[in-house]
Amino acid sequence: DQQVKQNSPSLSVQEGRISILNCDYTNSMFDYFLWYKKYPAEGPTFLISISSIKDKNEDGRFTVFLNKSAKHLSLHIVPSQPGDSAVYFCAASAHSGNTPLVFGKGTRLSVIA
């Protein structure tokens, strides 16, 4: 029973265009959401987060949008760069992060030059 779902295992985008990675969750207790980026043979690295009291958080080229009623969040990367090619994991937690993060299966993003 997956509580965090990333339904697209892979995504291919041209350099300079927008990448949109999607994530859905089922647990209504989740109130804190994060995105991680993972390169091969490395551990995931934290990218951006959002609390359920917000619907948008922006950090440079990265923006996360949260739609609580739809239990859906998305990560927008614009403009996409070849160095953004990696696996992106969506993660969620209840009680403002005081429970272990629950991760999705990840989406492999390929940015083509």
Partner 1 sequence: GAGVSQSPSNKVTEKGKDVELRCDPISGHTALYWYRQSLGQGLEFLIYFQGNSAPDKSGLPSDRFSAERTGGSVSTLTIQRTQQEDSAVYLCASSSSPGSGGYTFGSGTRLTVV
Residues at the site binding partner 1, with contacts judged by CB under 8 A: 4, 6, 32, 34, 36, 41-46, 49, 89, 91, 93, 95-106
Least distance between partner 1 and beta carbon 80 (Å): 22
51/96 Cα distance (integer angstroms): 8
Task: Between 33 and 85, name the residue whose CB sits nearer to partner 1.
Answer: 33
Task: Between 62 and 103, name the residue whose CB sits nearer to partner 1.
Answer: 103
Task: Between 13 and 34, name the residue whose CB sits nearer to partner 1.
Answer: 34
62/84 Cα distance (integer angstroms): 11
15 burial type by CB count under 10 A (0-12 exposed, 13-18 middle, 19+ buried): middle
Least distance between partner 1 and beta carbon 29 (Å): 14
Beta bridge partners of 95: none
